[in-house]
Amino acid sequence: MHCKSQWLVFIISCVAYGKAQKNIGAICDDGGFVLEAAFTVAIESVSSEDDPYEAKVVRTTPGDVLEAHNAMCSVLEGNVFGVFAPTNEKALKHVQSISDYLEVPQILVDQSVAHNRNWSAINLYPNHVTYSQAFADIIDNKGWEEFTIIYEGAELLPFFDAIFALQDLEAGNEVLMTVVQLPDGDDFRSHLQTIKKSGSLNYLVNCRRETLETFLQQAQQVGIMSDEHSYVIMNPDFQTIDLDPFKYGGSNITGVRFFDPSVEAIQNYIKSINAKVAELSEDQIPEAVTENGLTLSLALMYDAVMLYVAAVKAMALEDGSSVTCESGTGWAFGSTLLNNLKTVATWNIEEGYKETRVIIPAAEVEGSESMKGKHFIVLTALSAPYGMLKESPKKLEGNDRYEGFGIELIDELAKMNEFNYTFDIQADGVYGSLDKKTGKWNGMMEKVMDGRADFAITDLTITAARQKAVDFTSPFMNLGITILYKKPTKQPPDLFSFISPFSLEVWGWLAGAYVGVSLLLFLLGRIAPEEWQNPYPCIEEPETLDNQFTMANSFWFTLGSVLTQGSEIAPIAVSTRMAGSMWWFFTLIMVSSYTANLAAFLTVEAKFYAIKTVQDLANNPYDITYGAKKGGATLGFFKESDNLLYQKMYQYMDEHPEYQTSTNDEGLARAKSTEENYAFLMESTSIEYMVERNCDVAQVGGLLDSKGYGIAMKKNSPFRQPMSESILQLQEEGKLTRMKDKWWKEKRGGGACADDDASSAEAQPLVLANVGGVFIVLAAGSGLAVICAIFEMLVDIWLISHRENVSFIEELKAEIKFIISGSSDTKPVRHRELSGSGSGGSKKSKVEDEESHKEAENNLNAPTPSERSVSHHSRHTLHSRRQSNAVQMARMRKFSKATY
């Protein structure tokens, strides 16, 4: 059977007007620019230099009849060829009445039946009778014997005409139908619960595109979107909504579309619309059409313009309507143009319904088949950051009300295993503990065991007792028990804080190095020949030599270097200079290190830690009270532990129930309180979350145990394995770590105390590992100095033995004997070069040298003749001069080179 285009329906939200030849205009009441852009793009595509067309647009407020009337009159004054009507029902009826009176054709592209009584309107949207017949064929093909019709408004009832005809009792067609109208607003859950209780599994849905996605979300939440349920969606814009949240439910969802959005021509049309929207919106944020967001109305807009222009060209019309709202007569060619429009297109229904869908093989579908398409009730508690109410200025419904680590984790697991879920809240916040008297569990554990919840997720600790009652997935987070306490207070300054830069070990090694190098210099001074100097510079061949590195001078030399003050002693030999240089390098490093670390100790505030470990807390030296969450896993740990210390702590908490809290937040408040000296025992992950946001508390001590958080489910649940595998996969991909960083350190004020914690680190004394290298350098340099000194001594003995023609061994023994004796800082000269010969000459020379030496000294000290004549008051000046002469004599002794 062939049907002419009289049944076609088309909706356009614009009305055109024109001032010049072949103007087409549109009244846009969609509140945006998309329909106007689609209309303008379509007009531009049919216009050419030989046959120009121009779009004239008037925007109106949706539902404002007066504005629609004025817009229609303004359009007609432009000598238009036709009118594209608004979408609002009230405004549309008023515009249609004007079009009927003035016989001006009107084009629509919407699923409206209001035009049935108006001869001037033509709609490219499928007629409700034929449209319902198409869905009746789909239902018949599916073989539904029962289904529920769900619709939004009474204006949509005509679109069910052919469907109602399926229940033909006379023909023996017994199809059970239930009709449900959705209520006003956006909450349909109560109606959907009623539908669920009725046992119906098949649903025919017809509602607005704006309502459709909300409807499907709530159907999923109620639990009527599993592999047992089937849907047929009558809205032709079904393809434009995001179907990802619903494709894993297992439901069979069937819809229709009138064009393929992936076709290149459609994609180009979408790009042109978006470009025109950006041009029309100017400074406003443009409303863009997505790749799959082209609605049937927008697509039919283009077809309607093509159809209308084709009819105008077929009639060779050159002049427009030339009518106004004040005209007494209509347009002479209006009815003729309408008749031409209705003969342009036909629709073939003879072939009927033909299924062309592509079925995805089960092997290509990822996820667990045991969970795919099922709907679960997930129990959680409002415990930050695992589950929290979402902060939003808008009213939120269903799962959208919650956020947090546990909420996001369930969402990831649902995507991986293709199941749906609805969150339920444990209002009292009780996770669950076993009452040994009654043998019953309470809280979240009880609901999971009774089947009132399929899963339970929060900071729920996996314990041996809970593991016996329910099944747990692999841990999604590992943790341990630790202490939450106030941050340490400022410690009063230490009277001997100047000792702090070095540890006691370093101070000990420093003292040892000082003594060792001082003794080494004393020894090197006795070994090195150049350190023995002539005490009398004026005597070329003295009987004895002096050494400046006495025991006292050696210690004074090293002490002056340590204190960076120096001394009047200067090494002469290569060995002593080498040892002195190494000591100076050593003191440079040690003094610099001490100065730098001393500055840190003076600028960084020392902290007073009342407790540092759980042993400190148990001994309680500062009257600190402590407790844990009542009935929680932390208290159970102390109760079941066989550690004597932990048993002692449990006995304390059991005897003081007032120190046990009902929630973790209460424990935090008591730990922060200045009126109470309280420490709270809880899981480390919860403490990490709290100290990121509360800068006056800190984690104290290490972990007392090791455990994990898991998702609880009924014993012997078939879902444990796929859920555990998915959690392990998330861990391997690093997603769990990123999720934890997000909810611990970023969201809800995270990271507020990071800088505070970083700046609170105390200065630490330098230990031997920090400065051990410089001790090694000092030891190596000292060893080289000893070797160098021995070499100098051997060379000097060898030279003497050859010069004096004496035994090298005898000279070496005599030198070593003198060095070992260490009895004096003067050294007798064993071999002197005398001016005379024989023993008598030697004695005479020695006597003469002594007399010359005494005479020189007497001459220096004796007063001159002029000095004898000075008065008593000038004796002070003479005495000073004598002292100066004595100093000069001493200097000559020191720097003169002796003949050895």
Three-class DSSP labels, 185-197 = CCCCHHHHHHHHH
Query: Which ranges of 604-742 would DSSP assign to H, the alpha helix?
Result: 614-619, 633-640, 644-655, 664-672, 684-691, 720-732, 735-741
CA distances to 145, 466, 685, 791 from 659, in Å:
64, 25, 21, 79
Gyration radius from the chain CA atoms: 52
Q: Is a pLDDT exceeding 90 seen at residue 727?
A: yes
CA distances to 455, 456, 713 from 710, in Å:
10, 9, 10
Torsion sign over Cα 401, 405, 406, 411: positive
% the chain with pLDDT above 70: 79
CA distances to 125, 134, 140, 167 from 162, in Å:
17, 9, 11, 10
Residue 148: per-residue pLDDT: 95
| Locus of tokens 């956006």 | 186
Rounded Cα–Cα distance for residues 58 and 726 (Å): 56
Beta bridge mates, 435 = 440
Q: Output DSSP code: residue 861.
A: H
**Which of 159-173, 201-215, 466-480, 579-593 is the least confident region?**
159-173
Q: How confident is the model at residue 423 (pLDDT cuts 50, 70, 90)?
A: very high
Q: How confident is the model at residue 14 (pLDDT cuts 50, 70, 90)?
A: very low
Rounded Cα–Cα distance for residues 413 and 421 (Å): 10
Residue 688 CB-density burial (10 A; 0-12 exposed, 13-18 middle, 19+ buried): middle
Query: What does the pLDDT average to over 722-732?
Result: 94
Angle, CA of 595, 599 and 600, to the nearest 5°: 120
Higher-confidence residue of 361 and 253: namely: 253
Q: Output DSSP code: residue 874.
A: G
786: helix, strand or coil: helix
Of 135, 100, 131, 133, nearest to 116 (Cα)? Answer: 100
Q: Report which residue type is found at 617.
A: L
CB atoms within 10 A of CB 51: 12
CA distances to 29, 35, 797 from 73, in Å:
16, 21, 131
| 438-442 contacts at long range (C-beta below 8 A, 24 or more positions apart) | 441/469
Q: Is a pLDDT exceeding 60 seen at residue 445?
A: yes
CA distances to 486, 604, 605, 697 from 763, in Å:
21, 7, 9, 21
Query: What does the pLDDT average to over 533-545?
Result: 69
SS3 sequence of 72-138:
HHHHHCCCEEEEECCCCHHHHHHHHHHHHHHCCCEEECCCCCHHHHCCCEEEEEECHHHHHHHHHHH
Q: For residues 893, 895, 897 and 900, what is the CA-based torsion angle, rounded to 10 degrees?
A: 60
Q: How confident is the model at residue 345 (pLDDT cuts 50, 70, 90)?
A: low
Cβ partners under 8 Å of residue 863, min gap 6: 878
Residue 589: per-residue pLDDT: 83
Residue 736: per-residue pLDDT: 93
pLDDT, tens digit, 9 for 90 and up, residues 547-583 = 777 787 778 888 877 777 777 777 888 778 888 888 8
Cβ partners under 8 Å of residue 400, min gap 6: 390
Contact 41, 57 (CB under 8 A): no
Residue 755: per-residue pLDDT: 52
Residue 872 CB-density burial (10 A; 0-12 exposed, 13-18 middle, 19+ buried): exposed
Rounded Cα–Cα distance for residues 205 and 210 (Å): 13
Query: What does the pLDDT average to over 733-737?
Result: 92
pLDDT, tens digit, 9 for 90 and up, residues 807-830 = 778 777 777 777 777 655 666 666
Query: What does the pLDDT average to over 200-224?
Result: 91
In angstroms, the first-to-last Cα distance of the chain is 140
Highest mean pLDDT among 156-165, 606-615, 694-703, 722-731: 722-731
Of 117, 96, 98, 97, nearest to 107 (Cα)? Answer: 96
Rounded Cα–Cα distance for residues 49 and 39 (Å): 19
Query: What does the pLDDT average to over 29-58?
Result: 84
Structure tokens at 687: 């403490």
Q: Which phi and psi angles does 531 have, rounded to 5°?
A: -80, -10
Q: Output DSSP code: residue 493.
A: P
Residue 893: per-residue pLDDT: 47
Angle, CA of 290, 294 and 298, to the nearest 5°: 135
pLDDT, tens digit, 9 for 90 and up, residues 488-536 = 766 666 666 677 778 888 888 888 888 888 888 888 877 777 777 766 6
Q: How confident is the model at residue 734 (pLDDT cuts 50, 70, 90)?
A: very high
**Which of 141-150, 307-316, 675-684 is the least confident region?**
307-316
Rounded Cα–Cα distance for residues 276 and 724 (Å): 51
| Locus of tokens 């239930």 | 178
Rounded Cα–Cα distance for residues 314 and 418 (Å): 56
Rounded Cα–Cα distance for residues 749 and 738 (Å): 17
% the chain with pLDDT above 90: 22
Of 498, 517, 501, nearest to 562 (Cα)? Answer: 517
Rounded Cα–Cα distance for residues 612 and 471 (Å): 37
52: helix, strand or coil: coil
Query: Which ranges of 540-573 would DSSP assign to H, the alpha helix?
Result: 551-562
Contact 145, 193 (CB under 8 A): no
Number of C-alpha atoms within 13 angstroms, CB side, residue 510?
Answer: 24
Query: What does the pLDDT average to over 307-318?
Result: 84
Q: Report which residue type is found at 176.
A: L
Model pTM score: 0.46
CA distances to 97, 577, 690, 855 from 100, in Å:
5, 120, 72, 153
Q: Which phi and psi angles does 252 have, rounded to 5°?
A: -90, 115
Q: Which phi and psi angles does 683 have, rounded to 5°?
A: -70, 145
> Is the backbone peptide bond immediately before 385 cis, with ω within 30 degrees of 0?
yes
832: helix, strand or coil: coil
**Which of 5-14, 84-93, 532-541 is the least confident region?**
5-14
Residue 511 CB-density burial (10 A; 0-12 exposed, 13-18 middle, 19+ buried): exposed
Contact 593, 545 (CB under 8 A): no
Highest mean pLDDT among 214-228, 244-258, 273-287, 835-849: 214-228
